[in-house]
Amino acid sequence: MRSFLYFCGEVKNMLPNIRSLTLEELTEQLLEAGEKAFRARQVYQWLWDKNVGSFDEMSNLSKDLRKILEERYILQKVTIGEARQGKDGTVKYIFKLDDGNEVEGVLIPTASRITACISSQAGCSLSCKFCATGFLDLKRNLHFFEIYDQVDIIRKEAMARFGRPLTNIVYMGMGEPLLNYRNVMRSIDYITSPAGMGMSPRRITVSTAGIAKMIKKLGDDGAKFEFALSLHAANDEKRNTIMPINESNTLEALGEALQYFYEKTHTRVTFEYIILEGVNDGLEDARELADFCRVVPCKVNVIEYNPIEKAGYKNTSQEKMDRFVEFLEQRGIIVNVRRSRGKDVDGACGQLALKKQNS
């Protein structure tokens, strides 16, 4: 018998979500129900490898077992609320969560790769001044299976729209991944597991605005994926202004955490640097960035800014950007210039704000 909680006239199902269980937990519960242990492995394959949306789709299970699953568990899924494809092929998705919240993700096709940009939180609490998501309130952390679903949807969309497989995943959508540490790490475990998607962790990049103690924890946990820090200024005063998180996670604290992370993982760090006109685009800013790059082996992604309505920033000129990049390269720093993709559908870096087609 299903148990329900009646609240504000709504019936809310209180059964556990089956995808919150580990294989060991599911095995134990099915054994208690009189089933064989191998049945749990079959169910797990349906849940993660095939990622089905209902128990009825588990066709190699008996009707009795499917009935037991239906009576004891729920199976929540993330769905597409809206999809908009830009002129460059980039597709922005608004994903609907089971509780009515929404997040955004982006499919980014290029000649050499197809990347999924996914969210880790509904909203964000960090209030970065140049980012549209920073103007939203934080609703909640995403469950690991909701993060997994975003990747799975974009993976299937890549094949359907472009006939090519997903090659890379970046945790650069809505929210701060390191403030949802447990679910982010567990989602990566499932994405890289042979029982899940079997992707290489080196095809995954986790990006943070800079939570020093959690960067150290990544080192302690032996993170095997790629790691990026959204830096955007190598000067505490400037970084405090555009990224308030820097007030409690100073550049000195971040430098120490990055050194610890590198000593533990030997993973080269990527510094992301959105270049803003008159804010962080001068040669003195480049000099400060070059000095900070000495902290750990690294590379720099210089990213053109995508203006948003609520922020007063502008992208710098091409001339200033070229001069900035040249200054870094002359000092032996590896620099990549990232051009905006998906800007016409509000899917470019810093634009994710649940802006819908008719809004």
Q: What is the CATH number of the domain that holds 63?
A: 1.10.150.530
Domain check: are 128 and 197 in the same one?
Answer: yes
Residue 111 belongs to a domain: yes
pLDDT band at 142, cuts 50/70/90? very high
- The pLDDT assigned to 310 comes to 72
- The pLDDT assigned to 198 comes to 95
Least confident stretch, 81-90, 231-240, 305-314:
305-314
Residue 356 belongs to a domain: no
Which of 44, 72, 100 is where one domain is finished?
Answer: 72
CA distance readout (Å), 7 to 13, 14, 139, 146, 347 = 11, 12, 20, 25, 37
Q: Which one, of 352, 356, 355, 357, lies nearest residue 128 by Cα? A: 352
| E strand spans, the chain | 4-7, 10-13, 79-85, 91-96, 102-109, 114-117, 121-122, 140-141, 168-171, 204-208, 226-230, 269-275, 298-304, 334-338
Identify the domain containing residue 38 by its residue range: 4-72
Domain check: are 237 and 136 in the same one?
Answer: yes
**Residue range 51-77: mean pLDDT, rounded:** 95
Asked if pLDDT for residue 250 goes beyond 50, the answer is yes
How much of the chain exceeds pLDDT 90, in percent?
82
Catalytic site positions: 104, 349
- The pLDDT assigned to 3 comes to 36
pTM over 0.85: yes
Domain check: are 33 and 122 in the same one?
Answer: no
Contact 131, 167 (CB under 8 A): no
Asked if pLDDT for residue 5 goes beyond 60, the answer is no
Residue 211 belongs to a domain: yes
- Order the strands of the 168-171 sheet from edge to edge: 79-85, 91-96, 102-109, 114-117, 168-171, 204-208, 226-230, 269-275, 298-304, 334-338
- C-alpha span between 258 and 266 (Å, rounded): 11
- C-alpha span between 242 and 101 (Å, rounded): 27
DSSP 335: E
First vs last Cα of the chain: how many Å apart?
43
**Residue range 1-23: mean pLDDT, rounded:** 61
- C-alpha span between 320 and 2 (Å, rounded): 63
Domain check: are 101 and 64 in the same one?
Answer: no
pLDDT band at 309, cuts 50/70/90? confident
Which of 25, 44, 72 is where one domain is finished?
Answer: 72
Domain check: are 211 and 242 in the same one?
Answer: yes
- The pLDDT assigned to 11 comes to 36
- The pLDDT assigned to 341 comes to 63
pLDDT in tens, 24-39: 999 999 999 999 999 9
Residue at token pair 């999924």: 116
Residue 279 belongs to a domain: yes
pLDDT in tens, 272-307: 999 999 999 999 999 999 999 999 999 999 998 887
Domain check: are 189 and 302 in the same one?
Answer: yes
- C-alpha span between 88 and 104 (Å, rounded): 18
Asked if pLDDT for residue 311 goes beyond 90, the answer is no
pLDDT band at 128, cuts 50/70/90? confident
Residue 63 belongs to a domain: yes
Number of domains in the chain: 2
- The pLDDT assigned to 61 comes to 95
- C-alpha span between 343 and 347 (Å, rounded): 6
At 346 the three-state DSSP class reads coil
pLDDT band at 171, cuts 50/70/90? very high
Q: Residue 217: which CATH number?
A: 3.20.20.70
Asked if pLDDT for residue 359 goes beyond 60, the answer is no
